[in-house]
Amino acid sequence: MDGILDEVTFRQVPTNGIELRVATLGDGPLVLMVHGFPESWYSWRHQMKPIAELGFTAAAVDVRGYGGSDKPHPVEAYRLEEITADIAGVADALGGGSAILIGHDWGAPIVWNTALLHPEKIRGVAGLSVPYMPMGERSFIDVVRAAFTDRGRFFYQVYFQDEGVAEAELEADVRASLRRFCYAISGDAPDGTWPVDKPHGAALLERLPDPDPFPAWLTEADIDYYVAEFERSGFRGPLNRYRNHGADHAFLRPHAKTPIVQPSLFIGGTRDLVLKMLPGVDMVAMMRPNLPGLRGARLLDGIGHWTQQEAPDEVNELLTGWLKGFRAAE
């Protein structure tokens, strides 16, 4: 670890009927960072100090279901309708009703849609790994079932749909699960590490290697921290996020033609499998018409899915350059 645990202040923030744990550092306008799966506030450990040094309150939340935040049991408690309201509530509590949002993986759709649904509270929004995609005619889970499941191919989000199945696999050995899953979609994994030919009915971790040693961007101390968090929280809440595609589609479909007008930024990696999830679809190009305030869309060479952890210096340079525009406008 880089000492960030000794520098941040943890707060339990009431919002939307629950409490979320938020790590904070610095003073000034709120920059709120939202992690993805399977991560935690700690995924932003490299970003906290550079953002605070610009004169912001750098804040990183544990999304509901994770770490030190509340973990409601029902699947429907993890709809985007609820989680975007959580984030808007943190903007109220810590930012006086105003925040700049940065999200990675599931955190990216969370912050994109919080900016869409609460434009009066969100000054700007940056997404890492996952571009903004408004809801189409079919929900995402229906699209991937047609593209993968109906053709006998494994797709991890389909595997996640049955309650308890993925939980049992991942919780059987949390350390091995995190190491194998995180490595397989990192920029360090050779092509083919994530087996695209795996059949429907296979398990998530089947054929995923456990590297020895793990790439240097995730140290043993970092892994220890994540393992402790998931041994405490389990995986049900995180996996429930994937079980709400239908509800999310119904909720967000009426907003499909509404652009996100705030200043925005996208950062991805050239080796991130998310951007290759739908063959033949340029997800970054499709994003642009819906983001009239887009200030840049950068793909970092050789970087995989864990954008801000694999390439902290490059990500920090892009994020701080973008954030300086907000300071200049104050």
Choice among 62, 86, 105, 248 that is catalytic: 105
Find the length of the chain: 330
Tokens of 134: 């408004």
Tokens of 49: 């100090």
Choice among 104, 245, 249, 305 that is catalytic: 305
Is 305 marked active-site? yes
Is 105 marked active-site? yes
Residues marked as catalytic: 105, 305
